[in-house]
Amino acid sequence: MSNWLSVQNLSVDFMVGGGLAPAVLRALRSVSIDIEKGTVFGIVGESGCGKSTLARVLSGLTAPTDGQVLLDGKPLGMDRDKAQRRRIQMVFQDPGSSLNPAMSVCRMLSQLLSFHQIVPRDQIEARCRALMAQVNMPVDALDKKPGSLSGGQRQRIAIARALALEPEILIADEPTAALDVSVQASVLNLLSDLIRDLGMTMIFISHDMAVVRRVCDRMAVMYLGQIVETGPTGAVFEDPRHPYTNALMAAVPRLVPRAAGDYQMLKSEQPSPLARIEGCTFRGRCPKAGPVCATLAPVLDGGAHRVSCHFPRAGTNPVTEGSSHGH
C-alpha cells in the first residue's frame, strides 16, 4: 500500500515572543508525504527548515496546528495509547540527552520491555543481551550508565532502546551529526544493516547528501517548512528540478558529475520562519524568480517526482525534455 504512513497537510505554528509582541513562527506549512512500508525515506534541507518538527509530530511529541498523520489508514494523533506509542520510535541527534544518566543500560531496557510487555518477565534478560548483539555492543555494556560510554556507544544504546519496542517505523534525526567522524560510518552502517535485516520502515533526516543517496529509496527536500521537491532518490539527485535542490547539490559537486553552470550557489540566508512572504518562499534567493513568483505560491506538482516551482529545471528525462517547462 503506497500510503501506509501518510502525512496530510501538516502544519505547525509556534507562538514565540510572548508578552506584548507575540508572533507566529510557521515551522511546518502544509506538508504532505506518503511512505511505503519497508522503505527508507530521506529528508534534507537547511537548519531550521522544519525537519525535526516533522519528526516530533510523527512521534507524537509535538502537536500539529493543522493536518494529520495516518498509519495504515488510521489517525495517529497526540493521544496515543501504549500500543500506538510503540509503533513509531525516534533516534535523536544527541544520544546524551535522550538517555537517563542515572540508569544503567540494563535497567533502562528492562523497564521498557516490561512496561510494554514485549517479552515475558523471565525472558527480559535474554532480550537485553540480544539487543546488545543487534547493535554490536558487548554484553557488559548492560551494566554501564550512559556517562561511562562514548558518544558512538551511547548512540548504539539509543538505537537499542528504540529497537526494544519493535517499532514499525524508526525515525533517525541526524543520528550521527553529534558523533566523531571516525565513528559516524559504523553507526550509519549499523542503521542500514538493521533496516535491511528487520525490514523496518525508516525516516532518515540528514545534512549528509552522500549518505541520503546511499540509504534512501525516496526523499523530500524541505525549505522553510515546506516540501519543495520529492521523488525517488536517484531522480532527485540526477535530475533535480527545483533551484533549491540544485543549490543543495552544488554543495557536493562530486556527487553528480555535471556541467558546472548547471548549479547555482545561494547567495543569501534562509528567511526567518516568522516572515510573511507572498508568493514563493524561495524567491528571494532564487536565480530564476520572475514576477509570478512574487504573487503566486507554487504547488507541489508532478507524478512520482514532484516539484514546487513556477520555473522548474527541464528534466533530462526524455519524456519531459523540451516540454513547456522551463522558461
Ligand X SMILES: Nc1ncnc2c1ncn2[C@@H]1O[C@H](COP(=O)(O)OP(=O)(O)OP(=O)(O)O)[C@@H](O)[C@H]1O
**Site for ligand X, rule CB under 6 A:** 14, 16, 25, 27, 45, 47-53, 273
The nearer residue to ligand X, 27 or 124, going by C-beta atoms, is 27
Instruction: Using the minimum distance from each CB to ligand X, give the nearer residue, 47 or 324.
Output: 47
The entry of Mg ion, ligand X, none that residue 47 binds, CB within 5 to 8 Å by partner kind: ligand X
Query: 38: left (phi > 0), else alpha (psi -120 to 50), else beta?
Result: left
Q: Which is nearer to Mg ion, 52 or 230 (CB)?
A: 52
Under the criterion CB under 5 A, does residue 233 sit at the interface with Mg ion? no
Tell me the per-residue interface mask from 17 to 56 with Mg ion, x by CB under 5 A, - otherwise: ----------------------------------xx----
Q: Which does 102 bind (CB under 5 to 8 A by kind): ligand X, Mg ion, none?
A: none
- Closest approach of Cβ 173 to Mg ion, in Å? 6
Would you state the cell numbers that stand for residue 16, as one nine-digit string? Answer: 514565540
Q: Supply the minimum distance, in Å, between the C-beta of residue 49 and ligand X.
A: 4
Q: Find the shortest distance in angstroms from Cβ 290 to ligand X.
A: 28
Spell out, one character per residue from 170 to 209, where the chain touches Mg ion: x when CB under 5 A holds, - when not.
----------------------------------------
| 149 versus 215: smaller Cβ distance to ligand X | 215
Nearest CB to Mg ion, comparing residues 110 and 184: 184
Binding site for Mg ion (CB under 5 A): 51-52
